[in-house]
Structure 1
Amino acid sequence: MTPATASARSRKHRHFPRGRHLAMRTEAEPRPVMYHAALLEDADTGRILFEKNSEMEWPPASMAKMMLLLVAYKKIKAGEFSLDSPVRISQRSAHTEGSRLGLIEGQVYPLGELMKAALIKSANDAAVAVAEKIAGSVEAAVLLMNQQARDLGMTNTEYHTVDGLPPRPGHDVDRTDARDLATVARALIDQTNLLRWSSREQTPFDGGVCILRNTNHLVGHFVGCDGLKTGFTFQAGFNVTATAKRGNLRLIAVILGAPSNQQRFEQAARLLNWGFQNFTAVAVLKRGQSLPVRVQVKSGPAINLVVAHSVKVVVPKAQVDSIDLAYRVPQVVSGPVRSGESLGQVLVQDRGETLAAVDALSPTTVSVDPRGPDGFTVEPPAAYRKEAQ
């Protein structure tokens, strides 16, 4: 099955811990269409605002490097390496084709500089060097990338390379889809600080050995854009996974199979603009916030519940006033009750549709104590006191 003829595969709804993938629509959708697949989502919640062929298999091309860099960053964070760890350029790295720095076998560069080159310039030789450093070989790095993809719930992704470079022209071997690309983009945004590199139009490599120019032409030209990664092969066409932030709203746009370099950026910009014009982020609840509901401990005190964590939702601007809260909380519970124990849920709803759910917690501990006048001892709230103020 080739990307040009592939249709969206039927898959079970995937679990996204940070939010539900639900497509939303407003009266006008972004036009015209000059791509094979596209997706726009809220980066914080993973909520899909627009999608077209979002589950259609497609080669990621150089966007495969996003997963390599996520794996590398996690190894650095775990203390296995540092950005300054020396990397000796191998023969395989030096002879990697496609977009490249022109690394020479035997040269030594800091790991962080090679990661930066793979992200900004999309340098294939740098990506191979990073893979060999963090995993011992390209093949071992591919295994780590696929494991990370499974951990993130990327069910339509399979990597065979670390750089997206086809083994021969027109025969891409890596597979993904727009949803999975947005998933790895969210992971990079949430779990790394790589946007500090992808947000640069250009930057020196290793103190000025050469200048890395960003392949993402939205950076520096589209307001709020600070990443992420482009990809091109003859089979995949022109692709981009872009992110931009304006105010408290960060969006991710994925364009697959655009007909030209210019069109991938124009289509991504059109999609992002449409999102910023039509949607807004609303902070609904704050962690530790006291709720207007009480739970009676049987034969004990009544407890004022608090919010477990902050909740933000993204909705069409015209529907902000329709957001409301629903409480699924029992009237009476049996003791004892632990501080931080969930006693119910708060549902954030828009016209009956549940946008988010958060636990309603007890801020106090109510212990069974036969010596107490009512058989219970209440300990003062502590865990959520600071943020509730």
Structure 2
Amino acid sequence: MKLMGKMLSIVLLVTLLLSFSIPEVEAAQPFDINARSAILIDAATGTVLYEKNIHEAYPPASVTKIMTMLLVMEAIDEGKLTLEDKVVVSEHASKMGGTQLYLEPGEIKTVEELMKGISIRSANDACVAIGEHIAGSEELFVQRMNERAKELGMENTNFVNTNGLPADGHVTTAYDISLMSKELLKHKEIHRWLTTWMDEVVVGKSQSVQQLVNTNRLIRYYDGANGIKTGYTSEALHCLSASATRGSTTFISVIMGAPTSPIRFSESTKLLDYGFANYNTVEVVKEDSVVGTVPVQKGKGLELNAVAKEDLALLVKKGEEGKVEKEIILPQFVQAPVMKGEKIGEVIVTVDGKEEGRVDLVAQEDAERASIIDIMSRMFRKIVGS
């Protein structure tokens, strides 16, 4: 009996311990999405609002071109490329097949013309041509695509080409697509093409006019739609990274592997509608905006503007915007010299007293140390009252 009692006690103890170690079941999603994987994020904060198999790797088809466009825009920002640069189309680029501009070997196109072809028509030949122009070869450009993916935290992505044509090992995830989509939307110039419904480009020796129609029909039919990229192959099925902005709120939805094209658009609409119906983005400070001024001791100037180092925004449920509070922390003074971009304060944002984010405040410009002449001149002006 004593043995049985001890065994019963052990069983009860093990059961009790196991009850504490069972992980909590994740909260059920508000609805299902008819696709292999899907995600909805807030573009300002990266907050994930809906997820389905977001880290499962699948072929992305032409959604790949988001990374190609991102590298082009970054090269322009870095001064390595301009929209007017001339690109010579190679034999290799002209033979891509699939959706294309029908570029001919030796043909010369501007970067802007190629970007129109990529962003509006989803032209495979334009992707290779511009990749070769930037990196010297498609292989080197693809290497840079993968390097940039790692920098963005796209841990389950491997690119094999610039355009998403079928290739072994060419995969990414809904989550990773949302990361590169978020980064691309930071480039204001790209919005000009992503939101264009129809345009044209002249190509070939015959100078034929190619009519371009945006493959993303949400641009025409969804309120606030401003991107980004469709994709389809028989293996990838129907994919879409879509974005929309209303007021200060931008959401990005990603659909991978929808069974039909209409379904990818309807499911993306469902995700975006869910975001706009339930959440709002509160802009706390904008990058480079002047938040306050600080007196400068022993400086040529008497005051120094403090500006936000980067954007600070907070996603909240609708109706809770009034709970967001901003605290600006600046010193009573700074001692010259101060370098432009040097941290001199902070902005802290809280909700119901709990910190939810912060951003550095930095010097808008250099604050040089005053010379003896500067000090004497300042004293003289005080004496004479000017």
- TM tier relative to shorter chain: 0.7 to 0.9
Structure 2 partner of 1:212: 212
The alpha carbon displacement at 1:57 in A equals 1.4
The alpha carbon displacement at 1:224 in A equals 0.8
Structure 1 partner of 2:223: 223
Structure 2 gaps, min length 5: 1-25, 295-304, 370-386
In the alignment, does 2:171 pair up with 1:175?
A: yes
**Aligned residues of 2:138 and 2:161 also touching (Cα < 8 A):** yes
Structure 1 partner of 2:281: 281
- Correspondences of 1:25-44 after superposition (within 5 Å): 31-44=31-44
Structure 1 gaps, min length 5: 1-24, 295-304, 368-389
1 CA distance for matches of 2:38 and 2:353?
A: 28
CA distance 1:306–1:96, shift in 2 (3 Å):
closer
Structure 2 partner of 1:193: 189
2:82 maps to a residue whose letter is: S
- Correspondences of 1:220-369 after superposition (within 5 Å): 220-285=220-285, 287-289=289-291, 308=308, 311-325=312-326, 342=343, 345-351=346-352, 354-359=355-360
1:174 maps to a residue whose letter is: H
The alpha carbon displacement at 1:173 in A equals 2.5
2:156 maps to a residue whose letter is: N
> How many correspondences in the alignment?
331
**Aligned residues of 1:83 and 1:112 also touching (Cα < 8 A):** yes
2 CA distance for matches of 1:70 and 1:234?
A: 26
The alpha carbon displacement at 1:328 in A equals 8.6
- Correspondences of 1:118-197 after superposition (within 5 Å): 118-167=118-167, 172-197=168-193
2 CA distance for matches of 1:219 and 1:361?
A: 38
Structure 1 partner of 2:65: 65
1:178 maps to a residue whose letter is: A
Q: Which string of whole-angstrom CA distances, capped at 9 and with x for unpartnered residues, describes residues 355-387 of structure 1?
A: 31123679999x9xxxxxxxxxxxxxxxxxxxx
**Aligned residues of 1:341 and 1:362 also touching (Cα < 8 A):** yes
Name the larger-Rg structure.
2
The alpha carbon displacement at 1:290 in A equals 5.1
CA distance 1:338–1:42, shift in 2 (3 Å):
farther
2 CA distance for matches of 1:289 and 1:131?
A: 41
| SS of match in other structure, 1:191 | coil
The alpha carbon displacement at 1:135 in A equals 1.6
1:355 maps to a residue whose letter is: E
2 CA distance for matches of 1:249 and 1:74?
A: 24
Deviates more, 1:31-40 or 1:262-271: 31-40
Q: Which string of whole-angstrom CA distances, capped at 9 and with x for unpartnered residues, describes residues 236-287 of structure 1?
A: 2111111111111111111111111011111111111111111112233574
1 CA distance for matches of 2:128 and 2:178?
A: 23
2 CA distance for matches of 1:268 and 1:35?
A: 10
- Correspondences of 1:3-22 after superposition (within 5 Å): none
2:129 maps to a residue whose letter is: A
The alpha carbon displacement at 1:315 in A equals 0.7
2 CA distance for matches of 1:131 and 1:252?
A: 26
2 CA distance for matches of 1:319 and 1:308?
A: 24
1:289 maps to a residue whose letter is: V
1:318 maps to a residue whose letter is: G
Structure 2 partner of 1:99: 99
The alpha carbon displacement at 1:307 in A equals 7.1
The alpha carbon displacement at 1:74 in A equals 2.4
1:54 maps to a residue whose letter is: I
CA distance 1:327–1:214, shift in 2 (3 Å):
closer
2 CA distance for matches of 1:206 and 1:30?
A: 47
1 CA distance for matches of 2:242 and 2:158?
A: 21
Q: Which structure: greater helix fraction? A: 2
